[in-house]
Amino acid sequence: MAQRIPRAGLLLAVVLLLLVPALPGKTKPKSTEKQNQDFSKFVEIPGATKVGGDQCAQCHADLDKTYRRSSHALREVDCEQCHGAGSLHLAAGGYSKESKDKIISFKDRTPEEANGACLSCHSKSDHVRNWFLSAHQAQGIRCSDCHTIHGDTHGKGESEFQGEPQGARKAIESRRQVNDKCLRCHQKQMAEADLPYHHPIREAKMTCIDCHDPHGGSAGNGLNASNTNDLCFTCHAEYQGPFTFQHAPVNESCVKCHSAHGSPNQNLLIVSQPALCLQCHSAHHNGASLPLVDRCTNCHNAIHGSDIPSATGGSKFIDK
C-alpha cells in the first residue's frame, strides 16, 4: 500500500503534465512557435538550381508580362522565390502529373505547402501575426484565395491595364474587390448585406476588413478590436459613455440588439420594436391614460445610456 501512493501521485503528475498544453491560455504561444518555424522548405525543390526569371519568360511570356506590373516584381521578387528553382522543370520541358514535384504549382500543393511558400517571406510580418489562430488557416484557406499575385488580367489580355499609372499592381486592388472576394465564400453575409438595413458594404463605402482582419484577429470572430463594443466605438463613439446610468445589455454587447451585417429591421435591430424590448421587459401603459405605443424608444429615447435620473430612482432612459 505504502508504495502505491507515490505511484498514483506520479501517474497524476504525468496526466497533469499531458493536460497542460491543452489548457486555455496556453494556445497563444503556439502561434508564435508556428510563425517562427522555418518556411524555407516550402520553396525548395530537391536537386534543382536557379535558372533566372528570363528563362521562365521564354515559355510563360503572358504571365511574365502581367507579373512585371505587380508590386512583388517592383520589389524585385523573382519567379523562383515563389515557385522554387527551375532547372528540373526546364529539363522536363513542361508540367505534368509526373513532373509536378519539379516546380511549385500553387494549385497542386496542399494549403499548408502553398501558404508556406508565401510565409517563407511573410511569416514575421505584422499582417499575418494571428494567421495561425484564424478560422481561415484552420479551414485550409489559401493566401491565393484572396491575393492575386499575377494580376487580375489572367486570360483577359492586357486591355485592363490601359490608362493605369506606372505604379504597382497590388494583390488586391479596390475596396469593392475586397468585398467581392469575401462574399464569394460567405453566403450568409452576402444575404445579410442585401437586407434593407445594412452597413454600406454593397455601396463599397465600407469593407469587411473595416471590422475583420482576414488574417485572423486576436479576439473571436477575427475582429479588428479586442471585443465587439470596442469595434463599434471606433465609428460610433457617441454611444461609448461613460454614462451615469448604463443600460445593462448595451454594456454587454451591441450585438445583443443589433446585427453587425444586415437586418430587415430599422436601425439594424435583430428584432423589431417593441418585441426587442419585450424579450427582457414587460409592457406597461405608463399610467392608465396612455395607450401602449409600438416604439418604446419614442419615450425611452436614450436607450444606450443616460445621465438623467428619473423621479423614482435610477434612470428610465428618458432624456426629453
Touching ligand HEC, residues 205-234 (CB under 6 A):
206, 208-212, 214-215, 221-222, 228-229, 231-232, 234
| List 127, 158, 264, 309, residue binding ligand HEC (CB under 6 A) | 127
* Residue 64 grid coordinates: 511574365
State the Cα–Cα distance between residues 123 and 50, nearest whole angstrom. Answer: 23
Q: Is 69 in the site for ligand HEC (CB under 6 A)?
A: no
In the bound state with ligand HEC, the residue whose beta carbon lies nearer, of 14 and 185, is 185
Q: Is 53 in the site for ligand HEC (CB under 6 A)?
A: yes
Contact assessment for residue 317 and residue 300, using Cβ atoms and an 8 Å cutoff: yes
In the bound state with ligand HEC, the residue whose beta carbon lies nearer, of 64 and 101, is 64
What is the total count of residues that contact ligand HEC (CB under 6 A)?
131
Spatial CB neighbours of 55, under 8 Å, sequence gap ≥ 6 = 86, 90
State the Cα–Cα distance between residues 246 and 51, nearest whole angstrom. Answer: 67
State the Cα–Cα distance between residues 104 and 82, nearest whole angstrom. Answer: 7
Q: Is 94 in the site for ligand HEC (CB under 6 A)?
A: yes
Query: What mask, x for binding ligand HEC by CB under 6 A, covers residues 3 to 42?
Result: ----------------------------------------
Contact assessment for residue 320 and residue 301, using Cβ atoms and an 8 Å cutoff: yes
Q: Is 102 in the site for ligand HEC (CB under 6 A)?
A: no
Interface region with ligand HEC, contact rule CB under 6 A, candidates 4-12, 13-21, 30-38, 280-288: 280-288
Q: Is 305 in the site for ligand HEC (CB under 6 A)?
A: no
**CA 280 to each of CA 147, 252, 264, 269: distance values in angstroms, whole numbers, following the listed order:** 45, 14, 21, 15
